[in-house]
Amino acid sequence: MQDEVEIDQRWSRLMAAAQDGDRGAYVRLLRDILPFIRAVVSRQHRTPDRIEEVVQDVLLSVHRVRHTYDPARPFRHWLAMIARRRSIDALRRRTRLAAFEISDDTAYETFADPAANKAQEVYVAVDGLSEAVATLPAQQREAIELLKLREMSLIEASSASGRSVAALKVNVHRAIKSLRKRMTGA
Amino acid sequence: MSEETAQLIERLAAEARPVTRLRPPALRAASWLIIVAAIIVAAILMFANLAVFAQRARDPKLVYELLGTLLTGAASVLAAFHLSLPDRGRSWALLPLPPLALWIASSGYACYRHWIIFGPTGWELGESAHCLRFILGWSVPLALSLVVVLRRAAPLAPMGVAALGGLGVAAIAAFALQFFHPFDVTFVDLAVHLGAVCIVVLAIAATERLWRPRRASLP
């Protein structure tokens, strides 16, 4: 009991200093009050993530209304009321959301609709393309890497590889033909 | 402490400038009420027919009505200032109930007596439209000035504060109305008075989102 009074007085002094612009006192206070806020919030919320989210919301509220604290009054009561209010607000928000949202455990699984899997298939296609490029003859692979993957112009690719523009054109044409055949079977 | 929470504390502290503490709520409420009282007294002295009022004031029931409206207004405003602070109990919201009961009872009794004396004319529409305009017309500027001072506290539960503030300004307007209302109220008048009060309370509560200070976000 004596400890609680001392803690309250210390927090009250820190908040009074914070109100006067002492940032060091403010950091100490906000760190000190975290376990107390967490304890209040834990009465309404269970998961650690959720508790941490509400605790942060309480810290923001404390920051916003810090000018309403009267150093002549108990600090813990002031803080507890803010924490309880924010905690209940968060619970109401959650209840409201739950009334309109449905939890679907299979939502992240793939569906028969091809469009649903498009994003995943892009990565699959890229993986397949890399494998196909790796199997090309050296000159064709070099041409496709420089002109298509690194998007160089023919002149740039020519100076980078030391091959003629005509040779690069022929090699990239053959490479694309091979890749199309390999990827689509056409 | 999570990394995010630690960062939040650092950011809040980094932008923590000195703040001006709010004065005690009773003092703030009294300041607002004194200014409003001065305006009402000036308006009464300039525009009210005091001779008619003096004649009506001989009837003690008017005194009860005046007392009921005035105390309801003052109590509601005081309660709104208290409840705008995070650490004040919700029981402050009950403070206006006794004077509100006095107001309704005294007006209701006046209506009943008017009906007994005048019979069916007791149900007629008196100057109700005028009363409605008067209460709404006075309430709007009073409510705006009250909102300005109440929102300084950034109330965490603004709906209750708004409703109490609305009741306060409507009651004060109904008090002032008695000086410009040279007749006894009929049942319809009373209903209109209470209807006007409800409109003011609901309008302020409904627009609470507009005047509520924005919630803090990450700096």
> Cβ contact (<8 Å) for B5 and A66?
no
Residue A110 lies in a domain: no
**If you average pLDDT over residues B198-214, what whole number do you get?**
68
Task: Name B126's Cβ contacts closer than 8 Å, sequence gap at least 6.
Answer: B183, B185, B186, B188, B189
**CATH code at A162?**
1.10.10.10
Radius of gyration of chain A (CA): 32
A59 within a domain of the structure (yes/no): yes
The verdict on A6 and A45 lying in the same domain is yes
Higher pLDDT, B107 or A145: A145
Name every chain A residue with its beta carbon within 8 A of the beta carbon of B153.
Answer: 65, 68
Final residue of a domain: which of A78, A100, A122?
A100
* A77 in reach of chain B (CB within 8 A): yes
Contact between residue B193 and residue B135 where contact means Cβ atoms under 8 Å apart: yes
In a shared domain, residues A26 and A86: yes
Contact B113, B169 (CB under 8 A): no
Assess if residue A113 is contained within a domain.
no
Q: B214 and chain A: CB distance < 8 Å anywhere? A: no
| Interface size between A and B, measured as CB pairs under 8 A | 87
A172 occurs within a structural domain: yes
**A37 half-sphere exposure, CB direction, 13 A CA radius:** 28
**Cβ distance B137 to B199 under 8 Å?**
no
In a domain, A126, yes or no: no
Averaged confidence pLDDT in chain A: 83
Q: Does residue A159 lie in a domain region?
A: yes
Residue that wins the pLDDT comparison between A154 and A14: A14
The predicted-structure confidence for A101-123, as pLDDT tens digits, reads as follows 776 666 666 556 655 655 555 55
Q: Which domain holds residue A65?
A: 2-100
> Are residue A95 and residue A7 in the same domain, yes or no?
yes
Residue A109 maps to a domain: no
Q: Is the residue at A118 inside a domain?
A: no
Residues A83 and A167 in one domain: no
| Å between B35 CA and nearest CA of chain A | 23
pTM recorded for the entire structure? 0.70
Q: What is the CATH number of the domain that holds A63?
A: 1.10.1740.10
- Nearest chain B residue to A72 by CA distance is B24
Confidence of residue B25 (pLDDT cuts 50, 70, 90): very high
A10 & A84 share domain:
yes
CA distances from B101 to A163, B142, B186 (A): 99, 23, 18
How many CB atoms neighbour CB B30 within 10 A? 16
What whole-number distance in Å separates Cα of residue B173 and Cα of residue B37? Answer: 11
The pLDDT of residue A183 is above 50: yes
Distance CA A132, CA A38 (A): 55
Question: Which of B87, B214, B215 to mutate: most A Cβ within 10 Å?
Answer: B87
Task: Give the pLDDT confidence of B134-154 residue by residue, as tens digits.
Answer: 778 888 888 889 988 988 888
Predicted complex ipTM: 0.76
User: Is residue A16 located within the same domain as residue A90?
Assistant: yes
Locate tokens 């109220």: which residue?
B185
**For chain A, what is the domain count?**
2
